[in-house]
Structures are given as structure tokens and as C-alpha cells.
Amino acid sequence: MSPQPAPCTWALTHKSMPTLLCSCNHTMPIDADAVGDALRASDAVIDAPGKTHHLLCRREIGAFTQALEGTEDVIVACTQEKALFAEVAAQHEGVTAPIHFVNVRETGGWSAGAKRDARGFRAKTAALLAVAGLPAPDPVPVVDYRSDGNVLIVGPAERAMPWAERLADQLSVTVLVTGRDRAKGLLVLPMERRWPVQAGELQEVKGWLGTFEVQWRNRNPIDLDRCTRCNACIDVCPEGAIDALYQIDLDACRDRRACVKACGDAMAIDFSRVDAPQALSGQFDLIFDLNDAPAFAQHQPPQGYFHAGADAGRQLTASLALLQMVGEFEKPKFFQYKESICAHGRNGQVGCDACVQVCSASAIASQWKDGRGSVHVTPNLCVGCGACTTACPTGAITYAYPSAPYQGRKLKTLLSTYASAGGRDAVVLLHNGGRGRTLIGQLGRAARIGKAQGVPVNVLPVEVFHAASTGLDLWLAALTYGAARIAILLTEDDAPQYRAMLAEQVAVAQALMQGLGEPADEVGVVLIDVADATTLDARLGRADVSGPLRGFRRDMPAATFAVAAAKRETLDFALDHLARHAKATEAVIPLPAGAPFGAITVNRESCTLCMACVGACPSQALRDQAERPVLAMIERNCVQCGLCETTCPESAIALVPRLNLSAEARQSVTLNEAQPFHCIRCNKPFGTAQMVTTMLAKLGAHPAFSGAAAERLKMCSDCRVIDMMQHGERPGAPH
């Protein structure tokens, strides 16, 4: 019998966790003993399951309550009856440890492959359980919201007024009527003034839950706040232009002003607003938008805003959500920002704005101070998708909850456990906890009744907050940890900019892997964009997703490094590991435009070595030398932000996206150098010969630089002042 591997340090310092496995009434080929052997072969910190249960949620519920007796976390391999187990735990006295629920049924146990490959399913089960045993992510700062239930219902009167009636007992309602369809019959205001009613054209909505600011413009001559609902105006209007909502049909009105006289001392009618609309505003906690067009154009509107339009189903769903949004709320601050390495802008020039462009919530904006550009993220608008962190080439903005190191540890645990248990060709399927989880669940249930193949045994689902929150660093790290492929599941809910950004990132990953020697038809990272479970089933079954791994990574040992907080550091670790075992024939791998690796070319004839590019470079890829005019570059530091290209006054720089695997990429390489120009008075070097020659050519024809002034262009700044004073000229005075 071979000796057991030594447990990791973390395992030695932490208690194990009771683990409960259930075959769900004998519908899955669960073997607790075999899964236990697989867990013992890894460094998992959970207990091996003691037995295979078959009806844990029913007649064997005692095994669950017995597991609750200890102080350790409990792992239950069932999500179907999560609510039942939670209720039992709540009734069990003294339970303080969390319960972790793992789905092994829909994610593989009901698949056709589980019956054919028992060993693979066993390895998959062990891997999913091991991940469940990891500690929770470190806490992060939170973003607070407060809502007192002050809701603005905005939209056509026929839609807004009925919903105001329904919601007024639970929420503080204000109605903004933006239109009226008179053909739909009589519609009147409530007999009692139960809530404010405004009328006008919506101008602007901004803010978020608890802090919405709304501006509208009112052209209605009748001030609804002053109006007493006496109906005197309706009685006297000869055109019948005033309805029971006290809106004047300006097309029908003949400007006779009988209504003004009838209103009398109430003074609620003022026709001056027709030509000079009244600008009004208000603050609200919630917005219920029943207009056809939403007030927010971005894909992800702020929390607290619900657009339903004319759809009755969406209106009902939104109304129920509104009722739940009264009180104090908090969410994690999903991001961290390090301005010092941000490549957004220098010297008044915009370089990288990838995060601004990809944000679907309009939470990121550009800001400038003293010619230096950075980005500002509004935490209350951030929805935690993480797309900005994936698009960022430098790692200036990073995902915080969970962090990259935590995600890396999760992937490493998953893949190492799977491999230790005898699993092969692991595919990491990244999906979100909304529509992605739903599709996987639907696929698993379809497989149970023979309508689908189900999730393949070697496909390991990993739920993330959003599919866009992972990028090149985690993908490549996972490939070095032993993943055959990384599959990213997109659904119809994903914003278009997410799709475009992820497609670009995947193209970079594929170019890297093929440049390292992967077969042309072997794709290490793949996007799966589907709308239903049937399509997902077909896509997962294809060889380019779940087929056996070919190429150099099949025999590559798993990497041991840990994912770092710094994005570029993780990328360096992963690329170095891949390069050591790759079959690349070329040291330089061309990459698509937009890749975060590369070099630059410099037109030496145009370049004056002014070093504006050096001052603009945020990653210290470009260097100069104090003793002589030299422009040098450390290629591995370059993030291809383009600031050097946009800053160069001579347009002498062009970006070259590529990955240089040679040692030269980590060394300072000279791009341009020139002979220094020496002052004609003191012989001190103060510029380059090319720069002075160019300056003389550009300014020589100007009258202000004729005669002695032209000679001063050849002097250093000190000698230039001395020469002017000797000729009786005052420095700085106009010629």
C-alpha cells in the first residue's frame, strides 16, 4: 500500500467538515466510499462521507441532525431540499456553524456520462465537495443604501394611476403623468388627495436606491397641487378640453380662458406655462417607470429603478420587488482601484479607457487633475459584474469579492482534487448564479428523463458572480493548474459590451496558446453563448469543449504558484510555466490588437527624443537615461495602453501587440539614441542634435528667431539668459 500524501499546512491547522452524500432515491451512481478515497488522495479539508444516503431529506434526516451536533461546518451534497435542511437546522438547538450545499445532481449525477464513467463522476464529485470546504472570502467594505419607500410612479395616466391605487397603502406614492390616451375612456383622480399627482415631460433621472433625483417639465396650465377638484373649469370649458385628470388638451383649447375666470381665487390655472414650461424636480427612493422607453439607457440600470413599460407581467414583478425595497440595505464593494498604475491618461491624453467603455451600469467615469487622468467608480451604481477588472490591462482596478487570489485558490483546489481522484481532461465551466445556474439545472433535469445528455462528467461548473468577472490571469492560471479548457457561459441577459470584451480577451488567449504550440483546432478558452438548455447540451457535447486534451499541455505538470493580487504578476507566472513546457518554435508570438502585451516601434528619423513618451508611460516600460539621450524599453512591462503613441508630438510611435518569450523582453532594450547637442557657449549638453536641428528648421524662418535669437536656440537655458542680458534684452520681454 502506497503511503498517503502529506496533508497541506492549511489542512493541518483546520478542522475537517462532516460531508453528507445522497443518491437522491437511487437515481445517481453515488459511491460514498469511492468519493471518500478520492478526497483522502487530495488535500481536501473535509471529512470523507461515511456512507451513501438515498433519502437524506426524508427517512434519513437523522443523519443530518446528527452532523449538526458538532462545531464544524456541514457539507450537504443536495440543493433541491436546501430550504428543508435550513429549516431543520433552524429548529435544532445550538447550531452555529454554516451549512454548505453542493449540487452534484444536475451538474453531473443525472448526466448520461455519469453512468458510463463512474470514476470520472467520482472525481468530479470529490472536486465539487472539496471546493465547498474552502473558507468564505475575506470580508470587504460595504456600500450602504437606505429607502423609506418613497416611490415615483411615472408613465401614462392609464398605467400609472391604477398602480398608485394598489401601492399607496404600502409605499409613499408620487405619480408623474407623462401622457394621456383620451380614447381609452374616463379616468379620474381619487376623491381624496391621497398622494401627489404631477404632470409633465420627464427630463432627467439620476441616482440610485434612496437618492434618485428626477427632473421634469410641466406645460399643463393647471397646477395640480393648487387644484381643489371643484370641476368649475370643466363646467365652463366650451371645447371640452379639460378632463377629469385636470389635463388641458392644448390642441382642442381655443384660448378663451373661461377656465381661469371660473377657477377664481384658487388661482390653479396659469397659461403662461404653455410657452414657458415650469421646471420641477423631486427626490425619491424608488422609481417605477411605466413609460415605453426607459429613463436609463445603460444595460444595467441603478438599483431601485424598475422599468416595466406596458407589459402587465413585468409590472407585477416590478411591483413585488418594490415592496421589498424598504429599509436599510448593503452590498459588498466589489472593486479596488490603484490609481498609480492606471493607464487612463497622462499629459492631457487619453490612453486606456477600457473600463469606462465596458461598464454596463455607467458607474465608471473619467476624471482629470493636473493633466493626469484616472477613473472614478461610483460604488452605489456598481453591480459587481467585474467586466472592468477583466478589461483592465494593468490590474489598476481589481475584483475584490471574491478576490483573484481566492478565485485562484478555488480553481486550484477544484482541479488538483479532480486530478488526484483520477479525473482527466477537466473543463472549467464558468457561469453566473442567475440565468447560468438555471440553464445548468434545466439541462440536468432534462438528462434525467432522457431528453438530453446533461453536463459531461469532465465539465466542472464553477459559479461566479458574473461571467465577465474573470479574465486572462485566472484563465491562464487554471490552464496551468491542469484544466484542459476554460468555458465561459454567456446567456441572453449579458450586456453586448460584455460579449464584445470577452470575445476580444478570448481571442488573445487563443492566439497565445496557439503561439505556444497548441494545435490550431485546440482551443484553451472558449465562449459558450446560448439561450436554452437544449443548445447548451449540444455545445457542451462538442469536442472543442469537452473532448480530450491534445498538445503539449497533456503531459505538462500542474503549476504550484498561487494567483497573486497583482494581475500582471499572475500573468507572468502562468506564461512562464506554459512557455517552459510549450513546443513554441518562435520566441515572439503575434497577438490581436488590444492585447495587454507588446512592444512599440519608433521612427528614428521622426523621433527627437523629447521623452514625452517616457513621462506618459504608466507601467515604466519606457525608460530614459540621465547621462545621454537614450529611449529604452522593457517590453514585458508594456500593457499596450497607447499613451506613448498619443502623446508623441512627432507621431513616431506605433504599437506592436505581441508576446516576447525571450530573455530580451525582461531587459532594457534601446529603441532610439542620438548624439547630444552641446551648448555653443558653455559646451554643456542640453538636448539632442536632431531635436535642435528640427527646432531650427521649424523656427528659423520666423522673424522672432532671426539673428542673435537664432543663435540662442543653440544655447542651454542658462547661457540663453546671460546672452540676452549682455545684449541689453530683458528675458521674457516681447521682441
Q: Quick: pLDDT tens for 93-118.
A: 878 778 999 999 999 999 999 989 99
Q: Can you tell me the distance from the alpha carbon of 75 to that of 73, in angstroms, rounded to the nearest whole number?
A: 7
Cα 100 to Cα 40, 72, 86, 450, 718: the distances in Å are: 20, 11, 10, 29, 74
The pLDDT value given to residue 658:
97
Q: Looking at per-residue confidence, does 411 or 257 come out higher?
A: 411
Confidence of residue 6 (pLDDT cuts 50, 70, 90): very low
Q: Can you tell me the distance from the alpha carbon of 447 to that of 455, in angstroms, rounded to the nearest whole number?
A: 8
The DSSP code sequence of 134-169 is: SPPPPP--EEEEEE--EEEEEEEHHHHHHHHHHHTT
Percent of the chain with pLDDT strictly greater than 90 = 68
Residue 14 is classified by DSSP as S
Q: Can you tell me the distance from the alpha carbon of 528 to that of 427, in angstroms, rounded to the nearest whole number?
A: 13
* Amino acid residing at 239: E
The pLDDT value given to residue 186:
62
Q: How many residues does the chain have?
A: 735
Q: Record the cell numbers describing residue 144, joined without a space.
A: 450602504
Output the pTM of the full model.
0.85
pLDDT at residue 712 is higher than 90: no
Strands 525-529 and 485-490: parallel
pLDDT at residue 2 is higher than 60: no
Confidence of residue 226 (pLDDT cuts 50, 70, 90): confident
Contacts of 140 (CB under 8 A, 6+ apart): 332, 333, 334, 400, 401
pLDDT at residue 4 is higher than 60: no
What is the distance of C-alpha 707 from the center of its chain?
61
Q: Can you tell me the distance from the alpha carbon of 196 to that of 189, in angstroms, rounded to the nearest whole number?
A: 10
pLDDT at residue 619 is higher than 80: yes
Tell me what the pLDDT averaged over the chain comes to.
90
User: Please, where are the H alpha helices in 266-361?
Assistant: 272-275, 312-323, 354-358
Assign 491 to helix, strand or coil.
coil
The pLDDT value given to residue 93:
83
* Amino acid residing at 652: A
The pLDDT value given to residue 109:
96
pLDDT at residue 554 is higher than 50: yes
pLDDT at residue 71 is higher than 60: yes
First to last CA, the chain: 96
Strands 327-332 and 197-199: unpaired
Confidence of residue 195 (pLDDT cuts 50, 70, 90): confident
Q: Can you tell me the distance from the alpha carbon of 487 to that of 506, in angstroms, rounded to the nearest whole number?
A: 10
Q: Which of 497, 499, 479 is nearest to 488 (CA)?
A: 499
User: Please, where are the H alpha helices in 526-583?
Assistant: 533-540, 543-546, 567-581
- Tell me: cis bond preceding 519? Omega within 30 of 0 counts: no
Q: How confident is the model over 532-550, as pLDDT tens digits?
A: 999 999 999 999 999 999 9
* Amino acid residing at 184: K
CA atoms within 13 Å, Cβ hemisphere of 682: 13
Highest mean pLDDT among 14-18, 251-255, 382-386: 382-386
Q: Can you tell me the distance from the alpha carbon of 318 to that of 331, in angstroms, rounded to the nearest whole number?
A: 20
Signed CA dihedral, 416, 421, 423, 428: sign only: negative
* Amino acid residing at 210: G
Q: Can you tell me the distance from the alpha carbon of 275 to that of 296, in angstroms, rounded to the nearest whole number?
A: 28
Contact 234, 329 (CB under 8 A): no
Contact 674, 688 (CB under 8 A): yes
Assign 615 to helix, strand or coil.
helix
Q: Can you tell me the distance from the alpha carbon of 46 to that of 689, in angstroms, rounded to the nearest whole number?
A: 71
Burial 481-515 (b: 16+ CB within 10 A, else e): bbbbbbbbbbbeebbebbeebbebbbbbbbbbbbb
What is the distance of C-alpha 234 from the center of its chain?
55
Q: Can you tell me the distance from the alpha carbon of 365 to that of 648, in angstroms, rounded to the nearest whole number?
A: 25
Other residues' Cβ atoms within 10 Å of the Cβ of residue 729: 15
Q: Record the cell numbers describing residue 357, joined without a space.
A: 467603455
Q: Can you tell me the distance from the alpha carbon of 426 to that of 456, in angstroms, rounded to the nearest whole number?
A: 10
Q: How confident is the model over 415-460, as pLDDT tens digits?
A: 999 999 999 999 999 999 999 999 999 999 999 999 999 999 999 9
Q: Can you tell me the distance from the alpha carbon of 318 to that of 190, in angstroms, rounded to the nearest whole number?
A: 23
pLDDT at residue 1 is higher than 60: no
The pLDDT value given to residue 182:
60
Grid look-up 413599460 returns 309
Q: What is the mean pLDDT of residues 213-218?
A: 94
The pLDDT value given to residue 339:
92
The pLDDT value given to residue 512:
96
